[in-house]
Amino acid sequence: MTRHLLVALLPLFTVQARAQEWYFGPTCGEASIQKLSYVLPDCGRLSGRAQDTCGGASIVHLGYVLADCFELSEGGRCAAVSIQRTGYILSECKQAASEGQDRCAAASIRRLGYILKSCLELTAGGRCSEASLHRHGYVLAECGQVARYDQDRCAAASIARLGHVVGDCLQLQDGGLCAEASLRRLGHVLADCGKVRGYSQDKCAAASVDRLGHVDAGCLK
């Protein structure tokens, strides 16, 4: 009985563990207060989330804000992991031009110690590449085909559960949460997830799959 329960809950534990794995620490102000008991003036000069994330990681690990943090646009995750692992910011972090590229670059450093060139060629496959690097140590080609946020969520869940990207993920329009729940519970993407349009329907469909094992028709109205 206990063994069957653990097997049933394993996908959920995996998703929760991965959610914690990609936490990148405090902001610059938070880190400064926690480590120094005051806010470094440099924190006020940082602009945007990426620089703030970089500043926080820099203070935590070095005690001050690295000058390279001020040159970032979207490479905050990449910079945070780079500082944690090497003590400085890899130059490729400054080239990250989207959240997807940033996620991939950070996962690449964490898994391999360097940034794969394919990370900086992504459009929207950040979560997909994270899952791929975490499980395989490289970026699956399908991650480069991901064009939308919902497709990305589905692809990441597919890799985490199955080890590859199911074709249905690359056809989604708005059903990312539904597809995640479907893969987590059933091991495949329910056809009804492809009918989802909009965030509210997606949340409803995901809750329905989690609770009932299928998409309630009321979610699609």
Identify whether the C-beta of residue 162 lies closer than 8 Å to the C-beta of residue 144: no
Range list of H helices, the chain: 2-21, 28-36, 41-45, 48-62, 76-86, 99-112, 126-136, 149-162, 176-186, 199-212
Q: How far is CA 88 from CA 39, 75, 151, in A?
A: 21, 13, 33
CB-based contacts of 197: which residues, under 8 Å, 6+ apart? 173, 174, 220
* 29-83 confidence digits (pLDDT tens): 999 999 999 999 999 999 999 999 999 999 999 999 999 999 999 999 999 999 9
Q: pTM for this structure?
A: 0.84
How far from the centroid of its chain's Cα atoms is residue 194's Cα?
A: 22
For every residue of 158-202, DSSP letters joined together read HHHHHSS--GGGGG-SS-HHHHHHHHHHHSS--GGGGG--SHHHH
Q: What pLDDT is recorded for position 23? A: 56
Extents of the domains making up the chain: 24-116, 122-221
* 12-39 confidence digits (pLDDT tens): 334 443 433 445 689 999 999 999 999 9
CA-CA distance, 58 to 82, in Å (whole number)? 10
